[in-house]
Amino acid sequence: MPIIVNLDVMMARRKMSLNELSEKVDLTLSNLSILKTGKAKAVRFSTLEAICKVLNCQPGDILEYVE
């Protein structure tokens, strides 16, 4: 898939665990894990907004397009 999810990179930069992010974003651990591993087929803008707010980043810091 040409869309790469760099959620784990941003979490590492912010020294935040998946459990902590899950609580702050109010998403289940399994849904965040699916997103983190790149297995998600879609992501809601509201979810992306919440993740960016908690991690203090831009959507482009999390999602990357590679041909």
Q: Can you give the residue ranges of every domain in the chain?
A: 3-57
Residue 30's pLDDT is: 95
CATH class of the 3-57 domain in this structure: mainly alpha
Instruction: Supply the pTM of this predicted model.
Output: 0.90
Report pLDDT digits (tens) over 40-50.
Answer: 999 999 999 99
Residue 1's pLDDT is: 63
The DSSP code for 66 is -
